[in-house]
Amino acid sequence: MSKPTLVIVPGAWQMPVVWDAFRVAVKEAGYPPSIYVALPTIEGTGTPLPGLADDVVAVCNVLDPFIEQVKEVVLLCHFPGGVIGSNAAQSLLDLLCGSPLPWMKLRDRVSGDPGMFPQIGFNDLSPEDRARWAEEATHTSAALFAAPSGYEPGHCPFLSKPNEMLKALQSVV
Protein backbone atom coordinates (compact mmCIF):
# COMPACT_ATOMS: atom_id res chain seq x y z
CA MET A 1 0.00 0.00 0.00
CA SER A 2 1.38 3.41 -0.94
CA LYS A 3 1.97 6.10 1.64
CA PRO A 4 -0.07 9.32 1.59
CA THR A 5 1.27 12.69 0.54
CA LEU A 6 1.74 15.09 3.44
CA VAL A 7 0.34 18.59 2.95
CA ILE A 8 1.81 21.07 5.40
CA VAL A 9 -0.36 24.01 6.45
CA PRO A 10 2.12 26.28 8.25
CA GLY A 11 1.69 28.49 11.25
CA ALA A 12 1.78 32.25 11.34
CA TRP A 13 5.15 33.87 10.62
CA GLN A 14 6.57 30.64 9.19
CA MET A 15 8.52 30.49 5.99
CA PRO A 16 8.98 27.08 4.30
CA VAL A 17 12.54 26.71 5.66
CA VAL A 18 11.30 25.83 9.16
CA TRP A 19 9.84 22.60 7.76
CA ASP A 20 12.92 21.56 5.73
CA ALA A 21 14.43 19.07 8.22
CA PHE A 22 11.08 17.42 8.87
CA ARG A 23 10.32 17.22 5.14
CA VAL A 24 13.67 15.49 4.56
CA ALA A 25 12.90 13.00 7.37
CA VAL A 26 9.49 12.31 5.83
CA LYS A 27 10.99 11.72 2.39
CA GLU A 28 13.71 9.47 3.84
CA ALA A 29 10.95 7.46 5.56
CA GLY A 30 9.55 6.63 2.12
CA TYR A 31 6.73 9.13 1.82
CA PRO A 32 6.08 11.06 -1.39
CA PRO A 33 7.55 14.58 -1.36
CA SER A 34 5.52 16.70 1.04
CA ILE A 35 3.75 19.85 -0.10
CA TYR A 36 4.06 23.15 1.77
CA VAL A 37 0.98 25.36 1.29
CA ALA A 38 1.95 28.97 0.59
CA LEU A 39 -0.63 30.88 2.62
CA PRO A 40 -1.69 34.32 1.37
CA THR A 41 -1.78 35.69 4.94
CA ILE A 42 1.94 35.01 5.45
CA GLU A 43 4.04 37.88 4.13
CA GLY A 44 1.09 39.30 2.20
CA THR A 45 1.61 42.77 0.79
CA GLY A 46 -1.60 43.49 -1.15
CA THR A 47 -4.46 45.50 0.27
CA PRO A 48 -6.72 44.60 1.79
CA LEU A 49 -4.52 42.01 3.44
CA PRO A 50 -5.80 38.45 3.07
CA GLY A 51 -7.62 36.56 5.83
CA LEU A 52 -8.76 33.08 6.80
CA ALA A 53 -11.00 32.60 3.76
CA ASP A 54 -8.04 33.28 1.45
CA ASP A 55 -5.89 30.74 3.28
CA VAL A 56 -8.68 28.15 3.19
CA VAL A 57 -8.90 28.62 -0.59
CA ALA A 58 -5.12 28.12 -0.87
CA VAL A 59 -5.34 24.83 1.04
CA CYS A 60 -8.33 23.68 -1.04
CA ASN A 61 -6.41 24.46 -4.24
CA VAL A 62 -3.60 22.17 -3.08
CA LEU A 63 -6.00 19.41 -2.01
CA ASP A 64 -8.27 19.50 -5.10
CA PRO A 65 -5.97 17.47 -7.40
CA PHE A 66 -5.65 14.75 -4.74
CA ILE A 67 -9.41 14.61 -4.31
CA GLU A 68 -9.99 14.49 -8.07
CA GLN A 69 -7.46 11.64 -8.42
CA VAL A 70 -8.78 9.89 -5.27
CA LYS A 71 -5.32 9.92 -3.67
CA GLU A 72 -4.60 9.81 0.04
CA VAL A 73 -3.32 12.95 1.70
CA VAL A 74 -2.60 13.88 5.31
CA LEU A 75 -2.83 17.48 6.51
CA LEU A 76 -0.12 18.50 8.97
CA CYS A 77 -1.31 21.77 10.45
CA HIS A 78 0.65 24.08 12.73
CA PHE A 79 -0.79 27.02 14.66
CA PRO A 80 -2.80 28.69 13.13
CA GLY A 81 -2.63 26.21 10.27
CA GLY A 82 -4.94 24.05 12.38
CA VAL A 83 -7.49 26.83 12.27
CA ILE A 84 -7.08 27.11 8.52
CA GLY A 85 -7.01 23.35 7.92
CA SER A 86 -10.12 22.72 9.97
CA ASN A 87 -12.07 25.78 8.83
CA ALA A 88 -13.53 26.01 12.33
CA ALA A 89 -16.36 28.17 13.68
CA GLN A 90 -15.14 30.37 16.54
CA SER A 91 -12.82 33.37 16.45
CA LEU A 92 -9.16 32.75 17.20
CA LEU A 93 -9.15 36.01 19.11
CA ASP A 94 -12.00 34.63 21.25
CA LEU A 95 -9.69 31.75 22.21
CA LEU A 96 -7.19 34.42 23.25
CA CYS A 97 -9.79 36.06 25.53
CA GLY A 98 -10.77 38.57 22.86
CA SER A 99 -7.43 40.30 22.51
CA PRO A 100 -3.96 39.63 21.17
CA LEU A 101 -1.35 38.16 23.48
CA PRO A 102 1.23 40.63 24.91
CA TRP A 103 3.99 39.45 22.58
CA MET A 104 1.87 40.07 19.44
CA LYS A 105 2.47 43.40 17.70
CA LEU A 106 -0.94 43.98 16.12
CA ARG A 107 -1.61 46.46 13.34
CA ASP A 108 -2.85 45.38 9.91
CA ARG A 109 -0.08 42.80 10.14
CA VAL A 110 0.89 40.80 13.21
CA SER A 111 4.51 40.18 14.07
CA GLY A 112 6.25 38.92 17.17
CA ASP A 113 7.91 41.29 19.62
CA PRO A 114 11.64 40.66 18.98
CA GLY A 115 12.37 40.59 22.71
CA MET A 116 9.67 38.04 23.50
CA PHE A 117 9.05 36.08 20.30
CA PRO A 118 12.00 33.65 20.48
CA GLN A 119 10.92 32.39 23.92
CA ILE A 120 7.18 32.46 23.19
CA GLY A 121 7.23 31.07 19.67
CA PHE A 122 10.02 28.53 20.05
CA ASN A 123 10.13 27.77 23.79
CA ASP A 124 10.83 24.06 23.28
CA LEU A 125 14.12 24.73 21.46
CA SER A 126 17.65 25.60 22.59
CA PRO A 127 18.47 29.33 22.91
CA GLU A 128 20.54 29.14 19.71
CA ASP A 129 17.70 27.50 17.77
CA ARG A 130 15.17 29.98 19.22
CA ALA A 131 17.23 32.86 17.84
CA ARG A 132 17.71 31.14 14.48
CA TRP A 133 14.04 30.39 13.89
CA ALA A 134 12.89 33.78 15.22
CA GLU A 135 15.11 35.33 12.51
CA GLU A 136 13.23 33.27 9.88
CA ALA A 137 9.84 34.56 11.08
CA THR A 138 7.86 37.08 9.05
CA HIS A 139 4.55 38.92 9.49
CA THR A 140 1.02 37.54 9.16
CA SER A 141 -2.15 39.38 8.20
CA ALA A 142 -4.17 40.48 11.25
CA ALA A 143 -7.34 39.46 9.37
CA LEU A 144 -6.44 35.80 9.94
CA PHE A 145 -6.89 36.19 13.70
CA ALA A 146 -10.41 37.61 13.41
CA ALA A 147 -11.84 34.57 11.62
CA PRO A 148 -13.93 31.74 13.11
CA SER A 149 -12.26 28.81 14.87
CA GLY A 150 -13.19 26.28 17.51
CA TYR A 151 -9.97 24.31 17.85
CA GLU A 152 -6.95 24.91 20.04
CA PRO A 153 -3.83 24.09 17.98
CA GLY A 154 -0.46 22.78 19.17
CA HIS A 155 2.96 24.30 18.52
CA CYS A 156 6.43 23.35 17.09
CA PRO A 157 7.06 19.57 17.32
CA PHE A 158 8.31 19.54 13.72
CA LEU A 159 11.27 21.62 14.96
CA SER A 160 11.82 20.32 18.50
CA LYS A 161 10.99 16.64 17.94
CA PRO A 162 10.86 15.90 14.19
CA ASN A 163 11.56 12.18 14.61
CA GLU A 164 8.90 11.79 17.30
CA MET A 165 6.44 13.70 15.14
CA LEU A 166 7.25 11.40 12.23
CA LYS A 167 6.69 8.33 14.45
CA ALA A 168 3.35 9.74 15.62
CA LEU A 169 2.39 10.37 12.01
CA GLN A 170 3.43 6.85 11.00
CA SER A 171 1.36 5.36 13.81
CA VAL A 172 -1.84 6.85 12.40
CA VAL A 173 -1.14 6.63 8.68
Q: Tell me the pLDDT band of 103, cut-offs 50, 70 and 90.
A: low
Angle between helices 20-28 and 162-172 (to 10 degrees): 50
Tell me how far apart the alpha carbons of residues 25 and 68 are, in angstroms, rounded to a whole number: 28
Q: What is the 3-state secondary structure (H, E, C) of 14-71?
A: CCHHHHHHHHHHHHHCCCCCCEECCCCCECCCCCCCCCHHHHHHHHHHHHHHHHHCCC
Q: Which amino acid is at 37?
A: V
Classified as helix, coil or strand, 94 is helix
Give per-residue pLDDT as tens, 4-22. Answer: 999 999 888 888 899 999 9
Total domains in the fold of the chain: 1
Looking at per-residue pLDDT, the higher value among 19 and 85 belongs to 19
Confidence at residue 75, expressed as pLDDT on a 0 to 100 scale: 85
pTM of this structure: 0.58
**CATH number of the domain bearing residue 156:** 3.40.50.1820
Looking at per-residue pLDDT, the higher value among 90 and 153 belongs to 153
DSSP string, 114-169: TTTHHHHHTTTS-HHHHHHHHHH---EEGGGGGSB--------HHHH-HHHHHHHH
Domain span including residue 95: 5-172
What average pLDDT does range 47-75 have in this prediction?
A: 83
Closest CA to 49 of 119, 142, 124: 142
